[in-house]
Each structure stands twice: as C-alpha cells, then as structure tokens.
Structure 1
Amino acid sequence: MTQPIVSASWLFEHIDHPDLIILDATIKKVTAKENQNLAVEKIKNARFFDIKNAFSDTTTDIPNMLASPTVFEKACRTLGISNHHKIVVYDRLGIYSSPRVWWMFKTMGHQQIAVLDGGLPAWKEENLPTEPESNLNTYLQGDFIADYNPNLVINADEILHNITSNDILILDARSPGRFLGSEPEPRASLKSGHMPNAVNLHYEKVLQNGKIKPVSELKEILQHFTIADKKLIFTCGSGITACIIMLAATLAGYNHLSIYDGSWSEWGQLEGVPIQC
C-alpha cells in the first residue's frame, strides 16, 4: 500500500488478504436533511469505525475532536486492529468522512492506511460484493499501539500565535458562502466569516462524481494559491472536510500539512479571536 487512495478494483483484488481490514466510516453531513438516504449495506467484511463516539473526544462540546492516543488505541483494539494491518477506509457518500479516518491513523503513527476512491457508490457501481449492515462480524482483540505525531495537528493557540506569519497558509474547506459570512453556519451558535490569512478551497472542488480528481487537476487547483514552502493548515466546520483537501494536497505532493482539529466549531465561538467576512 504505497498511495493514500485505492480503487474499488484494487480493494476487490486484495479483499481476502489476511492483513487487510476494511473500515466503514460513514457519518451524516452536518448540512444534510434529516431524511438523508444512506445505504443499509456495507462492503463485505467491513467493520464500522464510529468517528462520532468511539474515536472522538467525548469530554468536549466541540464535535469530532480527535480522541487521545490511549482512547484511540483502545477503540482500535476493540475493532481487532493491530499495527501490522493494512487498512482501507470508505464511506457511503463517496468521499466525505473517510479522509478524516486516514488523517487520524496517520496522526496516530499508522502509515498503512488508504481511502477507497468513490467509497461505497463506486464499489456498488462495479457490482462488487456487499452484505447487510446488520451482519455483525466477530474478530480477535487487536494490540494496536499509537505513536502520536503532533505535527499533523494544530490548535487555536498555535494559530493565534502564527496567524500573521508569511510561513503559513490556512485553507478553509467550507462553502464560499460560509467562508464569506453570507450564509449562516449550520450550527446556530457560531459566528460567521473566516480566519485571517485563510483562503477558501471548498472540498467539492477537489472531487468529481464522488471521487478525488486526478493528480494533475489537483496540482492545477492548488497552484492557484501561493503555497510553495509554506506550512499548510486545513480547516472546515468540524474537522471532517478539511481532511478531504488535505488528502488532495498530499496527492499533489505537498508536505508540512496539519489539521486545525477544532476548526470553525471552535473558532466561531471563541471570544476575542480575529474574524473576517
């Protein structure tokens, strides 16, 4: 596994490999209507990766904050995950929450992780084997050990300290309307606008028909921003879609990348922080 993304055909070819684990990391979009239709089937042998509960910090009101290494380790072991495993993660929306899990594992020191390009829709389009979501598989306890990499995460204090630096650039994955403050935030308690030194790269711009765009197109998109040799900080509403554009930047060959884990869910409620519209 040498790339951060794999195709449905690649996964099908390797689906019975004893070291492979498939994770279903589906969550509902925060902007989705209540009746959003998510499939009630999964890829054969997939294990549900519960971003919202088992793998998030449930002691804070800020959604989707990364769990501590200790909590992450325990949840991985419950899913039967060990350090020797190769992991493919997907979601049922194409590419939405799966890159978040890719980033989480990278942050916890696990490199053998890739996103399924196009997710479950791409898998089903090729008529590859699925099973009912209700099928509960059993697996042996894992012994995953986290090796936390703080370079892939940044917090509000670090952003405040460096917000005027020419050495960083913040890329915001929210919609242009939310970035500019002309659309309300889906979380009503949050202010509108964006951080200084931020540019808008809506996550949908790096996707096409639920898949990540070709590397050549990703490079062309990112070349519109002056980002050479800068540390890139990715943010969004709650840390989910920021990971999509981080994945795009990784595929395009950029380094020095980190996620602002609190994202606008935190920044938009902080007192005294700079906000632009």
Structure 2
Amino acid sequence: MPLSLPGSLVSTEWLAAHFDHPGLVILDGSFKLPGVTPIAADDFAARHIPQARFFDIDDIADHDTVLPHMLPSPGAFETYASDLGISNDSIVVVYDTPGLMSAGRVWWTLRTFGHDKVAILDGGLRKWMAEGRAVTGEATPAPKATFHATFHPDAVRSKAQVLDNLGSRAEQVIDARSAGRFTAEEKEARPGLRSGHIPGSLNLPFNALTDPQSGELLQVADLRTAFETAGLDFSKPVIASCGSGVIAAALAFGLHLTGKDDVAIYDGAWTEWGQPGDTPVETGAGKRDDRK
C-alpha cells in the first residue's frame, strides 16, 4: 500500500508504525560544530533509529569552496541522494539528535533540489529514545536508487544578494544564532570572524522554536508568536541566516509550519559575512561596525 506523509512534521508514533515500510527513507541529519567530539557520524554508528541512513551535511556539500557545507551542484546532489537510496518517489523522514538543530537543513536541502515528500521527526532522536523505542548500531545498506534534481534557486541567497537587500530592504533578514553571538557579546567559534550581525537583521535563536525538555516543536500559534515577538512581519519575504547555514533552516522550517514559504536561506551565512572585508556589521542594538 502506498505511503504518504501526514504533514511536514511527523510524530514518533507515526514513524514507529511505518519505519520498515519499503517506500520510506529515514535520514539521520545530526550535526556538530567543528572540534566537538564524538562527531555526529560516530554517534550515528553507536546508535540510531533502525533503518536510518546518515546524511552527512559536511560531505553532501560543495567541496570547491572554503566555506563549510555549502549546497552542492544539482548533479552532485543527484549522486549523493541516489547513493543514499533516495528516489523521486521516496517518502523521507529526517531527524537529528536534539530535535530541531540540523534536521531542518536536510529538509531544506531536499526541497531545494525538488523533493517535497520530506518531513521532520518531532522531537528527534531525543524523544524517540526517551520513549524507550528501539535504536541500533547496525548499519543498513542503502539500495541504489535514481534521483533527478530540480534546483530551486529562489530558496537560496548569496552574499551579493544580501548586500543588495541592505539598500532595498525588500526582504527581512532573521538570524538563528544565540543572542550573545548576534549582539557580539560572545565571540564567534570560527577563528578570524568579526562578531555581530547583518545590519537591520532580526534575531530568533533556533532553539526558541522547541520545547527545552522534549525537543518537540512549539504549537503553530506559539511559533508565530515567537517570530512576531522577534519583530518579523509575516507579510514580507524572509532571508534566514545563522553561523554557517545549518540552524537557519530551523527557522525556515518553523515558518513553513505557520504557512509561510517565501523564505530563503543565506547559505554562506556569518562564516562568509563575518570575514574581514567590505561587509558591514552591526553589534549590540544596532551599532554599526564597518571595520575591515
């Protein structure tokens, strides 16, 4: 019997009832910052949801740039997806360990390359394990599949486009980093970067969208309230940003759940913008810092 997703967010109960369905692909999209050990791939090797395959955000990326985990070319993504056993007919459920940190990046990547039959597991591996559900350290071989990508450039913004937006203000920029990093009270972990934020941008830390205990997403009304409290105008399009393009997708997913899809991600994010150069930076409550 064909399988269909109940929505863009699926419960642990739904996944437990369908995780061995032949039409379903489960992806563990967990990610950790550089230098944090054990790395996400090692965590996956130790325990993951049965039948899951590991979506390595750093590997499934453009390796011709020094910027981390930038989107690969459509052709390269076709190869990655096919090797993971994903076809254009696959139903995909993505999770990460905390609930909604990097799963949004995998969800956004698949959609950006034309695959809309993808959902995120509410609460991630944390909730799955808290409920006593099965995990395994055994790898499940991925059957070879064929994936054809249809790239949607409107889902991505470049540095040049974000610079142009400083003048036009046609799109709102919202930053998913912590308040301390946004205001420059905390230094960036990556060496050589300036601290602060893109001028005029809003701030909503990605973990404000989930319950701190369970990792589950807030109710839709509460998600909308969180964005509005941060200053977002739901009538205007959005660019989501963060440190390196990963947690920005959590904001894109949260907005998607509220029905707002005119949202793009600045893929280079602060790792690109914060480098010494000609990009203007604000610190604190709107203090501009144009130091090179």
Match of 2:198 among 195, 198, 207: 195
Distance 1:48 1:252, change over 3 A: same
2:14 corresponds to which residue? 10
C-alpha separation in 2, matches of 1:11 and 1:270: 46
2:275 corresponds to which residue? 269
Instruction: Report how far residue 94 of structure 1 moved.
Output: 2.3
2:58 corresponds to which residue? 52
1:104 corresponds to which residue? 109
1:255 corresponds to which residue? 261
1:141 is aligned with what amino acid? K
2:48 is aligned with what amino acid? K
Taking the TM superposition and a 5 Å limit, the aligned residue runs for 1:116-127 are 116-127=121-132
1:24 is aligned with what amino acid? D
C-alpha separation in 1, matches of 2:232 and 2:272: 26
C-alpha separation in 2, matches of 1:226 and 1:175: 17
CA contact (8 A) 1:66 1:261 kept: yes
Alignment TM-score, normalising by the size of structure 2: 0.89
Alignment TM-score, normalising by the size of structure 1: 0.94
2:241 corresponds to which residue? 235
Q: State whether structure 2 residue 160 is matched by structure 1 residue 154.
A: no
1:90 is aligned with what amino acid? Y
Match of 2:147 among 130, 141, 144: 144
C-alpha separation in 2, matches of 1:137 and 1:152: 32
Taking the TM superposition and a 5 Å limit, the aligned residue runs for 1:17-36 are 17-30=21-34, 33-34=36-37
**Counterpart of 1:223 in 2: which secondary structure?**
helix
Instruction: Report how far residue 144 of structure 1 moved.
Output: 0.4
1:219-247 CA-to-partner distances (Å, cap 9, x unmatched) read 11122224132110000000111011111
1:213 corresponds to which residue? 218
C-alpha separation in 1, matches of 2:167 and 2:63: 32
C-alpha separation in 2, matches of 1:169 and 1:89: 27
CA contact (8 A) 2:192 2:276 kept: no
1:13-37 CA-to-partner distances (Å, cap 9, x unmatched) read 111222100011112145x754689
C-alpha separation in 2, matches of 1:226 and 1:70: 35
1:190-216 CA-to-partner distances (Å, cap 9, x unmatched) read 011111120111111111132211111
Instruction: Report how far residue 80 of structure 1 moved.
Output: 1.2
Distance 1:36 1:46, change over 3 A: closer
Match of 2:69 among 64, 67, 73: 64
CA contact (8 A) 1:164 1:197 kept: no
C-alpha separation in 2, matches of 1:23 and 1:226: 31
Instruction: Report how far residue 9 of structure 1 moved.
Output: 0.5
CA-based RMSD:
1.7
**Counterpart of 1:148 in 2: which secondary structure?**
coil
Instruction: Report how far residue 107 of structure 1 moved.
Output: 0.2
Instruction: Report how far residue 115 of structure 1 moved.
Output: 0.8
C-alpha separation in 1, matches of 2:237 and 2:250: 17
1:6-65 CA-to-partner distances (Å, cap 9, x unmatched) read 1110111111222100011112145x7546894721101111111111x11112111111
**Counterpart of 2:238 in 1: which secondary structure?**
strand
**Counterpart of 1:93 in 2: which secondary structure?**
coil
Match of 1:43 among 29, 49, 56: 49
C-alpha separation in 2, matches of 1:247 and 1:146: 21
Instruction: Report how far residue 103 of structure 1 moved.
Output: 0.2
> Could you list the runs of 5+ residues in structure 1 that have no partner in the other structure?
none
C-alpha separation in 2, matches of 1:36 and 1:271: 32
2:170 corresponds to which residue? 167
1:246-277 CA-to-partner distances (Å, cap 9, x unmatched) read 11111112131000000000001151111111
Q: Which moved more, 1:103-112 or 1:216-225?
A: 216-225
C-alpha separation in 2, matches of 1:206 and 1:190: 27
Tell me how many residue pairs correspond in the alignment: 273
C-alpha separation in 2, matches of 1:153 and 1:143: 24
**Counterpart of 2:143 in 1: which secondary structure?**
coil
